[in-house]
């Protein structure tokens, strides 16, 4: 099949999403990663909007790009002046970007009520801006804003705007579903109208307000679009942009189009999580293709079938997008789940043992535990049931003291425990009870287990289980930890939030020690 261009606007359109803020270094690192995977265009921002975007383009101009073409984004010239006189157009040229994307109005409502110019002046603004970009030797992409709303409201004028861009030399016209309200059949009809009107290459830029951005983008490609604009993980304003991760996977694996570099599709999970990390956002477990739950199986019947024929419950192999299959354990689990989850321990398949493990899971879940997001705690549970668990230490007691000082609270944790026959009585300080307990536990255990120094706590979640009990309700704490090789999660449940945290924290340390002993494999590899 044909090559479909992927145009990434994470650094510009994606950064408009609520809570998203990339530093200059973040933008350069993301651009480098996108280039490594073979994205065709990387839109860096609007050079006139802020000093950070200006600096990005200057830095990008001095870098070597293997595959991607760096793109600057801007608007058509202002009314009443030439394109060469417009400060925005001058900034685009000064950016040194080899590609310039110009956004202009398609919808007559926006022309008369937002821009407050005549319909004829808007056409001139489009023509002049594209012609000026081409006169400077740059590739010109025209983003037809509110394209589908404009075409539905006034098709004759919409066609005039497209022709204005094409006649001025635009290399591509990108149809933007700016409000994200179009349906696939409307996308198909408008793309057909554009193809009939101009001989220009066509692209598509969808927003996700109806959760149809991927479907709409694929519909446009099936109708002749050769470029898809979007963002990694679909971040962006309101409900976000189309997720280029899903687009790339669908184009390559479902429609056999050529996208990215060879092997690039297998790195989509890595790319998705890389952008989440730099954006300081939580992963979406249910995200298609790359989410942690995308290939997670919980029902016993499902797991039994997957173990026999994986494709019976998976539309693609997880490895094809760099993801991994996960078998979840819960009170709904059957024997197949337990067998699949315990293969790493190389224990004989023993019906009585499997039933014992399943009963332990069900009993603990009745108390409020959940092991779906705490696989390390489940592994420790299995070891305890099989007799392979060796306690790292014996606890005498712990105590947490919080003193509310004039400036800020001070938290101190005191722990007394026994390690290999030696008593340790240590004090740790922290920003809060969990941080203080973590500090004290490290101080006590690291001399005996030096590798604990490389373990860090990366996430901490608390959920009230039985809220009807008021302040006496049980809470479930999940702690995520990582070292240089892997990431793991542990869980603790109690009516006391500090005790629940302590249980999860101890499991995190115990898992690290047992993992380093070679008793188990890490549940997830760090990309």
Query: Which residues, including other chains, have CB under 8 Å from residue 70's CB and lie 6 or more apart?
Result: 31, 42, 44, 57, 60, 61, 97, 98, 99
Q: How far apart are CA 44 and CA 70, in angstroms?
A: 7
Under DSSP, is residue 438 helix (H, G, I), strand (E, B) or coil? helix
CA atoms within 13 A on the CB side of 311: 3
pLDDT in tens, 342-361: 555 556 567 778 778 878 87
To which residue do tokens 């993301």 refer? 30
Q: Would you state the structure tokens that stand for residue 370, as one six-digit string? A: 């959940």
- In terms of Cα–Cα distance, which of 54, 29, 457 is closest to 232? 29
Average pLDDT of the chain, as a whole number: 88
Phi, psi of 167 (to 5 degrees): -65, -30
pLDDT, mean of residues 420-425: 88
Q: Are strands 409-419 and 394-404 parallel, antiparallel or unpaired?
A: antiparallel
pLDDT, mean of residues 310-317: 77
pLDDT, mean of residues 178-205: 96
pLDDT (0 to 100) of residue 310: 62
For residue 433, the Cα-to-chain-centroid distance in whole angstroms is 30
Q: Would you state the structure tokens that stand for residue 170, as one six-digit string? A: 């635009």
| CB burial of residue 387 (10 Å; 0-12, 13-18, 19+) | exposed
pLDDT (0 to 100) of residue 525: 38
Separation in Å, CA 192 to CA 164, 262, 445, 472: 18, 31, 68, 63
Residue 2 · residue 202 · CB < 8 Å: no
Q: Would you state the structure tokens that stand for residue 156, as one six-digit string? A: 């004759």
To which residue do tokens 């306690």 refer? 391
Q: How far apart are CA 382 and CA 346, in angstroms?
A: 12
What are the beta bridge partners of residue 413? Answer: 400, 428
pLDDT (0 to 100) of residue 279: 87
Q: How far apart are CA 510 and CA 334, in angstroms?
A: 27
Phi, psi of 427 (to 5 degrees): -125, 135
For residue 109, the Cα-to-chain-centroid distance in whole angstroms is 35
pLDDT in tens, 107-134: 999 999 999 999 999 999 999 999 999 9
Separation in Å, CA 207 to CA 111, 285, 470, 484: 21, 21, 42, 37
pLDDT value at 339 more than 70? no
- Report residue 297's pLDDT band, with 50, 70 and 90 as the boundaries: confident
Residue 416 · residue 396 · CB < 8 Å: yes
pLDDT (0 to 100) of residue 517: 83
Q: Which of 55-64, 147-156, 306-315 shows the lowest per-residue confidence on average (mean pLDDT)?
A: 306-315
Phi, psi of 2 (to 5 degrees): -80, 165
pLDDT in tens, 277-292: 888 787 888 999 999 8
Residue 207 · residue 180 · CB < 8 Å: yes
165 Rama class: left (phi>0) / alpha (psi -120 to 50) / beta = alpha
Total residue count of the chain as it appears in this document: 527
To which residue do tokens 């265009």 refer? 41
Q: How far apart are CA 303 and CA 335, in angstroms?
A: 9
Q: Would you state the structure tokens that stand for residue 248, as one six-digit string? A: 């790339």
Q: How far apart are CA 187 and CA 416, in angstroms?
A: 67
Q: Which of 42-46, 177-181, 191-195, 390-394 shows the lowest per-residue confidence on average (mean pLDDT)?
A: 390-394
pLDDT (0 to 100) of residue 522: 41
pLDDT (0 to 100) of residue 303: 53
Q: How far apart are CA 168 and CA 147, in angstroms?
A: 18
Residue 488 · residue 509 · CB < 8 Å: no
- The DSSP-derived string for 454-486 is G-EEEEEEEEES-GGGGGG--EEEEEEEE-SSB
Under DSSP, is residue 112 helix (H, G, I), strand (E, B) or coil? helix
Verdict on whether the full-model pTM lies above 0.85: no
- Report residue 526's pLDDT band, with 50, 70 and 90 as the boundaries: very low
97 Rama class: left (phi>0) / alpha (psi -120 to 50) / beta = beta
- Report residue 335's pLDDT band, with 50, 70 and 90 as the boundaries: low
Q: How far apart are CA 86 and CA 36, in angstroms?
A: 35
- In terms of Cα–Cα distance, which of 138, 142, 136, 135 is closest to 102? 142
What are the beta bridge partners of residue 493? Answer: 476
Q: How far apart are CA 201 and CA 7, in angstroms?
A: 14
pLDDT in tens, 175-188: 999 999 999 999 99
pLDDT (0 to 100) of residue 523: 41
Q: How far apart are CA 500 and CA 474, in angstroms?
A: 9
Q: Which of 99-113, 242-256, 315-329 shows the lowest per-residue confidence on average (mean pLDDT)?
A: 315-329
Q: How far apart are CA 417 and CA 420, in angstroms?
A: 10
For residue 341, the Cα-to-chain-centroid distance in whole angstroms is 26
Q: Would you state the structure tokens that stand for residue 429, as one six-digit string? A: 């300080």
pLDDT in tens, 399-417: 998 887 667 778 999 999 9
- In terms of Cα–Cα distance, which of 182, 234, 224, 180 is closest to 203? 224
């Amino acid at each position: 099949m044909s090559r479909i261009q992927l145009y990434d606007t994470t650094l510009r359109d994606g950064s408009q999403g609520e809570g998203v803020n990339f530093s200059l270094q973040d933008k350069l690192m993301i651009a480098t990663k996108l280039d490594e995977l073979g994205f065709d265009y990387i839109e860096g921002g609007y050079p006139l909007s802020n000093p950070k975007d200006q600096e990005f383009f200057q830095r990008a101009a001095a870098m070597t790009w293997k595959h991607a073409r760096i793109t600057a984004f801007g608007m058509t010239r202002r009314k009443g002046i030439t394109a060469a006189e417009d400060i925005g157009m001058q900034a685009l040229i000064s950016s040194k970007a080899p590609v310039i994307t110009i956004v202009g109005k398609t919808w007559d409502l926006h022309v008369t009520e937002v821009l407050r110019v005549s319909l004829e002046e808007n056409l001139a603004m489009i023509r002049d801006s594209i012609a000026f970009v081409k006169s400077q030797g740059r590739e010109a992409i025209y983003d037809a804003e509110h394209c589908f709303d404009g075409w539905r409201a006034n098709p004759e004028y919409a066609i005039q705007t497209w022709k204005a861009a094409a006649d001025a030399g635009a290399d591509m016209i990108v149809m933007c579903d700016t409000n994200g309200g179009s349906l696939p059949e409307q996308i198909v009809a408008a793309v057909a109208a554009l193809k009939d009107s101009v001989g220009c290459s066509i692209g598509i830029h969808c927003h996700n307000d109806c959760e149809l951005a991927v479907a709409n983008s694929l519909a446009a490609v099936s109708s002749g679009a050769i470029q898809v604009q979007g963002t990694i993980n679909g971040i962006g304003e309101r409900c976000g942009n189309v997720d280029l991760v899903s687009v790339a996977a669908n184009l390559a694996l479902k429609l056999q189009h050529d996208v990215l570099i060879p092997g690039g599709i297998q790195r989509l999970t890595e790319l998705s999580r890389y952008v989440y990390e730099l954006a300081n956002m939580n992963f979406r477990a249910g995200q298609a293709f790359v989410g942690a739950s995308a290939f997670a199986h919980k029902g016993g019947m499902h797991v039994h079938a997957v173990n026999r024929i994986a494709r019976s419950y998976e539309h693609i192999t997880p490895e094809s997008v760099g993801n991994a299959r996960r078998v979840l354990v819960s009170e709904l689990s059957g024997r197949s789940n337990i067998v699949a989850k315990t293969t790493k321990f190389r224990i004989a398949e023993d019906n009585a043992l499997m039933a014992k493990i399943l009963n332990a899971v069900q009993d603990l879940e009745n108390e409020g535990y959940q092991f779906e997001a705490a696989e390390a705690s489940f592994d420790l549970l299995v070891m305890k049931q099989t007799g392979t668990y060796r306690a790292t230490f014996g606890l005498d007691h712990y105590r947490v003291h919080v003193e509310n000082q004039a400036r800020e609270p001070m938290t101190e944790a005191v722990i007394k425990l026994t390690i290999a026959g030696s008593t340790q009585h240590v004090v740790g300080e922290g920003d809060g009870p969990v941080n203080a307990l973590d500090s004290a536990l490290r101080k006590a255990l690291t001399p005996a287990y030096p590798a604990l120094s490389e373990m860090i706590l990366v996430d901490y979640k608390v959920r009230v289980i039985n809220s009807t009990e008021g302040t006496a309700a049980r809470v479930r704490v999940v702690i995520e930890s990582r070292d240089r090789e892997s990431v793991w999660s542990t869980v603790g449940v109690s009516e006391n939030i500090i005790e629940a945290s302590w249980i999860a924290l101890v499991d995190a340390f115990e898992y690290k020690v047992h993992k380093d002993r070679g008793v188990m494999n890490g549940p997830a590899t760090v990309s």
